[in-house]
Amino acid sequence: MANATGAMTGAGQSRDQTITIVIVGAGVWGSALARLARQNQQAIVRLWSRRSPEPLTEVVRDADFVLSAVSMKGVSETIARLKPAGLPPHAVLISATKGLDAQSRHTPSQLWQSAFPHNPIVVLSGPNLSQEIEHGLPCATVVAGLDRAATEAVQRAFASDVLRVYANLDPIGTELGGTLKNVMAIAAGVCDGLQLGTNAKAALLTRALPEMIRIGTHLGGQAETFFGLAGLGDLLATCNSALSRNYQVGYGLAQGKPLDRVLADIHSTVEGINTTEVLVEIAHDCQIPVPIARQVHRLLHRQITPQQAVRALIDRDLKQEFEDELL
């Protein structure tokens, strides 16, 4: 089995070294990531869920990589399971959750880093629709971390003929790109559900990106990261596909369905709803303009109709296109 230090430094690392990857969370996203990880013929991949008979602490005992694919609400619970016994000192933690903690407003990787300060943390995010991955379709993603060696080790572990993996040193920006676009995907679903046309959709997505950048840079991300796969790439994929659960929420609301019925039809976690709540709180406290997110928030709380949300965006004060956009 590959040792931690050797795998991360890359010094003398052999292609035939066996690595152990534990994926926590056996939902659609975790299962898709397990499929990608198994493309690496030198990887032993273990998929764990709360229904698994073996304790998580035992499963991760000899892991080289521990990837969390649980929902945002499940991150703290998973940390609580692992913290008493700790993690192997060489293990790299990979966070593939897209969301914001409602209480602390922290990203998943920040929660993991606080709990396991001595293990390197790497974020995995990008335009990766689970259903397409399950069908073996090609895709690209981003892995990002402050520890360059650990990040490159994750890049090597997941790269395959069907997955192109890019690396960068901006985990917060990468994480927030994947998180904030979920709010915009709800708005995109509304746009398509109301059949507003391609012109309106193009305007919405173009204005969504600077809104994401304003919040993302305030929270510590780098502006350029949002123009990459984890920002613009994920935004385009999620806002243009009926496979996206967040898009489905917006589309269903535009069809006049109540939110609880829309969620019942989806049968899965929709992270954009909680993210909208936290995002609007941050924007309010820090006086950051987020017009699209605010209308999504009002729509989710039944304060306005989808038609009124669109009208509110159109009726905003006239301004210069690039005025204060990237502050």
Q: Is the same domain home to 210 and 249?
A: yes
Confidence tier at 17 by pLDDT (50, 70, 90): confident
- Boundary residue ending a domain (169, 189, 215): 169
Instruction: Quote the number of domains for the chain.
Output: 2
44 lies in some domain:
yes
Is the Cβ–Cβ distance between 167 and 155 less than 8 Å? yes
Residues 229, 147 share a domain: no
The band of 15, judged by pLDDT with boundaries at 50, 70 and 90, is low
Q: What is the mean pLDDT of residues 254-273?
A: 95
Q: Are residues 14 and 89 in the same domain?
A: yes
Residue 319 lies in a domain: no
The mean per-residue pLDDT over the stretch 263-272 comes to: 93
Residue 322 lies in a domain: no
In this prediction, residues 222-228 reach a mean pLDDT of 98
Tell me what the mean pLDDT of segment 258-279 comes to.
Answer: 95
Does the structure show a pLDDT above 50 at 7? no
The answer to whether residues 110 and 285 touch, using CB atoms and an 8 Å cutoff, is no
Instruction: Note whether residue 323 is domain-resident.
Output: no
Using a pLDDT cut of 90, give the percent of the chain over it.
Answer: 89
Return the percentage of the chain with pLDDT > 70, whole number.
94
Same domain, 21 and 164: yes
Judged against a pLDDT cut of 60, whether residue 91 lies above it is answered with yes
- Mean pLDDT across the stretch 294-315? 94
Average pLDDT score over the chain: 93
Q: What is the pLDDT of residue 1?
A: 43
d(CA 300, CA 232): 24
| 69 has a pLDDT exceeding 70 | yes
| 29, 141 Cβ separation under 8 angstroms | no
End of a domain among 138, 169, 200? 169
The packing angle between helices 171-193 and 306-314, to 10°, is 110
- Give a yes or no: residue 326 inside a domain: no
53 Cβ partners below 8 Å, 6+ apart? Answer: none
- For residue 103, the domain's CATH number is 3.40.50.720
For residues 299 and 118, give the distance between their C-alpha atoms in angstroms, rounded to a whole number. 42
In tens, the pLDDT along 99-156 reads 999 999 999 999 999 999 999 999 999 999 999 999 999 999 999 999 999 999 999 9
My answer on whether 196 and 103 are in the same domain is no
Taking residues 220-239, report their average pLDDT: 98
Indicate if 98 and 196 belong to the same structural domain: no
The CATH code of the domain that includes 304 is 1.10.1040.10
- CB 8, CB 92: distance < 8 Å: yes
Question: Contact at 8 Å (CB) between 82 and 60?
Answer: yes
Is residue 45 located within the same domain as residue 164?
yes
Rounded to whole angstroms, the Cα distance separating 238 from 244 reads 6
Are 184 and 152 part of one and the same domain?
no
Say if 272 falls within a structural domain: yes
Of 139, 169, 199, the last residue of a domain is 169
Give the mean pLDDT of 265-275.
Answer: 94
Domain match, 105 and 34 both: yes
For residue 181, indicate whether it is catalytic: yes
Identity of the amino acid at 283: A
DSSP-based three-state secondary structure for 167: strand
**Residues 84, 13 within the same domain:** yes
Query: What is the rounded distance in angstroms from the CA atom of residue 317 to the CA atom of residue 303?
Result: 21
Q: Please name the helix (run of DSSP H) or strand (run of DSSP E) that holds residue 20, with its range, or none.
A: strand 19-24
pLDDT at 288: 97
Tokens at 279, concatenated: 């995002």
CA distances from 239 to 36, 244, 309 (A): 23, 8, 17
User: Residues 162, 196: one domain?
Assistant: no
Phi/psi region, residue 290 (left: phi>0; alpha: psi -120 to 50; beta: rest), is beta
Together in a domain, 214 and 154: no
CA dihedral 200, 205, 211, 215 (to 10 degrees): 150
- The pLDDT tens digits of the residues spanning 162-188 come to 999 999 999 999 999 999 999 999 999
Query: Two tokens at 29?
Result: 């996203």
DSSP symbol at 224? G
* Number of neighbouring beta carbons within 10 Å of residue 256: 9
The 121-125 sheet, strands edge to edge: 43-48, 19-24, 65-68, 92-95, 121-125, 139-144, 163-168
CA distance 52 to 64: 20
Structure tokens at 280: 């609007």
Residue type, 280: V
List 73, 181, 201, 257, catalytic entry: 181
Q: Is residue 327 part of a domain?
A: no
Q: 188 is in which domain, residue-wise? A: 179-314
pLDDT of residue 231: 98
Position 13 in a domain: yes
